[in-house]
Structure 1
Amino acid sequence: MKHVIVTGASRGIGFELVQILANEPCKVLALSRNIEPLKELSCDGIEFLAFDVTEESHYKGLVDYIKNEWAGKVDVLVNNAGLLINKPFSELTKKDFYDVYNVNVFGVSKMIQALIPFMGADGHVVTISSMGGIQGSMKFAGLAAYSSSKGAVITLSELLAEEYKETGPAFNVLALGAVQTEMLQEAFPGYEASVSAYDMASYIKTFALTGAKIYNGKVLQVSNSTP
């Protein structure tokens, strides 16, 4: 029975992922600012907490929950929560950059720091990045803050894999291409991706549960388009 934590779990890939994981031999803790969609799920394997990765005060409650309800054990963390702002670079404000990095980089860092004490040598930290964060990939106007933040967590994960290579957990990144989610529609109204949130969540589930046996410090490009 693996203990899995997923951030950004109230919609899109995260919402599908927690349901798929619950069908495995897993205990799933779904974290999201909005827990109303999670309350509507009739699944015994899913527990949830109202949680904002940018709120320092929320982490103590999470740590207490792990200690009291999960006996201090976490096997897998999926850093899925994300913020995307689509705006011309000339219009991006310091606050825009901060808001995006606060979720996509600082939130990831804080979550990892909070959970590493509960993860063993066979633990696995999976951070969801984007093809836009891959050097040499196709880039899109308007995504200066978002794509640069996704590049930052790629480098962060590579560094952590080196720092914790003797003790674990393993750190890997999935750089996703376009997926049909609410966040994509909000940023690019009318755009239709060929990959559904369910299909991507199915792939992430398998990688999160098994990838640490093969990979550490790696970035896998998960996209049906090139470059």
Structure 2
Amino acid sequence: MSKNIIITGTSRGIGYELAKQFANQGHNVLALSRNTKSLDSLNHKNITTISVDLSSNEDLVKAEAFIKNNWTRVDILINNAGKLINKPFSELSTEDFKEVYNVNVFAVAELTKKAIPFMKKGSHVITVSSMGGIQGSMKFPGLAAYSSAKGAVITLSELLAEEYKNQQIAFNVLALGAVQTEMLEEAFPGYEAPLSAKEMADYIFEFSLTGNKYYNGKVLQVSSSTP
């Protein structure tokens, strides 16, 4: 049976690959990102793109309106969008922190809140975090805003799993190690990650559809290396 799936951060990398994969398997995808050109050019009948600045509540209302008017339910929400600023801590401004937290934390909370009324028993919310957000993991200088935000959504997801367990909506986090994406290349030019965006998307695709049978309120460390 085809499912209704919301994915954020779909202009490139893992989100783009996920949107294609779900659509090609016959699922309905609502793809939310600032830039919709790459997916629009596919012209896929199962993909609806909405240009959204995730840090803008007015933009998120556009997504909510689409769900209300076109879908009766949301089966899977994948909070994949990420914002990374790589700067020494002494140079990180409050504005930098806000920019990173707006996308990596507040938008996750806001979009999840808008999707929950459409979620039924068996729905699954997956938030993509980072190994940098795991307590005790190896940390990298320059990622104070990014990694602390990725730690915040881990705790948020654990709380939501508890809060919605009676409704049987599952919340899980995938803490990813290094994946060869444009975002990684921009932050760490020349670094070669062990996994491609397509390979990681394959894993997340399967986990989104079946992981909630086995996990709820859990953080899975998806990394074959340090980080």
- TM-score, L = length of structure 1: 0.97
Q: Is 1:25 matched up with 2:52?
A: no
Q: Hey, what's the Cα distance between the residues in 1 that align with 2:38 and 2:82?
A: 17
- 1:115 aligned counterpart, secondary structure: helix
**Cα distance, 1:60 vs. partner?**
2.2
Partner of 1:66 in structure 2? Answer: 67
Aligned pair count?
226
Identical columns (%): 63
Partner of 2:96 in structure 1? Answer: 96
Partner of 1:195 in structure 2? Answer: 195
Q: Hey, what's the Cα distance between the residues in 2 that align with 1:63 and 1:140?
A: 36
**Cα distance, 1:117 vs. partner?**
0.2
Partner of 2:126 in structure 1? Answer: 126
Partner of 2:158 in structure 1? Answer: 158
**Cα distance, 1:226 vs. partner?**
4.0
Runs of 4+ in 1 over 3 A off after TM superposition: none
| 8 A Cα contact 2:177 2:226, kept in partner | no
Q: How does 1:103-114 map to 2 (within 5 A)?
A: 103-114=103-114
Which consecutive residues of structure 1, in runs of 5 or more, have no partner in the other structure?
A: none
Q: Is 1:55 matched up with 2:77?
A: no
- 2:21 aligned counterpart, secondary structure: helix
Q: Hey, what's the Cα distance between the residues in 1 that align with 2:61 and 2:138?
A: 40
Partner of 1:217 in structure 2? Answer: 217
- 2:121 aligned counterpart, secondary structure: coil
- TM-score, L = length of structure 2: 0.97
Please report the RMSD computed on the Cα atoms of aligned residues, expressed in angstroms.
1.0
- 1:166 aligned counterpart, secondary structure: helix
Which consecutive residues of structure 2, in runs of 5 or more, have no partner in the other structure?
A: none
Amino acid at match of 1:196: S
C-alpha deviations, 1:31-89, integer Å up to 9, x for none? 1110111111142221111112111111222122112111x210000000110000001
Q: Hey, what's the Cα distance between the residues in 2 that align with 1:60 and 1:176?
A: 29
- 1:217 aligned counterpart, secondary structure: coil
Q: Hey, what's the Cα distance between the residues in 1 that align with 2:212 and 2:27?
A: 16
Q: Hey, what's the Cα distance between the residues in 1 that align with 2:8 and 2:26?
A: 19
**Cα distance, 1:15 vs. partner?**
0.5
Q: Hey, what's the Cα distance between the residues in 2 that align with 1:94 and 1:147?
A: 15
Amino acid at match of 1:99: E
Partner of 2:7 in structure 1? Answer: 6
Amino acid at match of 1:10: S
- 2:129 aligned counterpart, secondary structure: strand
Partner of 2:171 in structure 1? Answer: 171
Q: Hey, what's the Cα distance between the residues in 2 that align with 1:82 and 1:63?
A: 20
Amino acid at match of 2:33: S
| 8 A Cα contact 2:194 2:225, kept in partner | no
Q: Hey, what's the Cα distance between the residues in 1 that align with 2:33 and 2:202?
A: 20
- 2:195 aligned counterpart, secondary structure: coil
